[in-house]
Amino acid sequence: MSFRDALRTAPQIEDVPGLRLLKVGDGWDLVRMPAEVGFPALALLRSTGSVIGPVLYDRPGDRLYYAIRTGTGDSWQDLPVRLLSTGAWLVAPSPYWSDDWFGGWCELPDDDALTDPDILRTSLRQPQPGSSNTEVVLNACP
């Protein structure tokens, strides 16, 4: 099942229309990072034409979540990120919902695409571009 299909069928959070509770660790994991690190990495991935899986922008938390394949283990320890896997849950908007307060999907492919963890790691280790590049990416996300 694709990430998008899992999101469509995830249970809706009561009293909060448009938000879903998505189980992590069943086919994909998530890499959570501060937006100040995640947006430049997204700009770099886009500029190189890399396959990008789902990327969620959590505006209140000022974080990005990248969907990657499961099984990357502890290989994220030297980076300012947290790997979320089995046992974790993500509060996420439905595929068709975005909100100026909550944020939304920067990327949400229609297929089974996931971001390659090795390519994501490499992009996170690149020197961070200036704020003008980050602004371009910010404008491409809800």
> Into how many domains does the chain fold?
1
What is residue 114's predicted lDDT score, i.e. its pLDDT?
95
The average confidence (pLDDT) of the chain is 85
Whose CA is closest to 65, among 101, 26, 106, 99?
A: 106
Q: Is residue 142 part of a domain?
A: no
Reduce the secondary structure of 29-88 to three states and give it as a string: EEEEEEHHHHHHHHHHHHHHCCCCCCEEEECCCCEEEEEECCCCCCCCCCCCCEEECCCC
| 110: its two tokens | 């229609």
What is the tens place of the pLDDT at every residue in 55-108? 999 988 999 999 999 887 668 888 999 999 999 999 988 776 666 667 889 999
Q: Could you tell me whether strands 82-84 and 29-34 are parallel, antiparallel, or unpaired per DSSP bridges?
A: antiparallel
Question: Is 50 exceeded by the pLDDT of residue 22?
Answer: yes
Q: Is residue 118 part of a domain?
A: yes
> Per-residue pLDDT averaged across 112-132, rounded?
82
Q: Is residue 55 part of a domain?
A: yes
Q: Could you tell me whether strands 29-34 and 55-58 are parallel, antiparallel, or unpaired per DSSP bridges?
A: unpaired
Q: Which domain holds residue 123?
A: 3-128
Q: Is residue 133 part of a domain?
A: no
What is residue 2's predicted lDDT score, i.e. its pLDDT?
80
Question: Is 50 exceeded by the pLDDT of residue 139?
Answer: yes
Euclidean distance between the first and final Cα of the chain, in Å?
Answer: 25
19 against 54, higher pLDDT: 54
Q: Is residue 137 part of a domain?
A: no
What is residue 138's predicted lDDT score, i.e. its pLDDT?
52
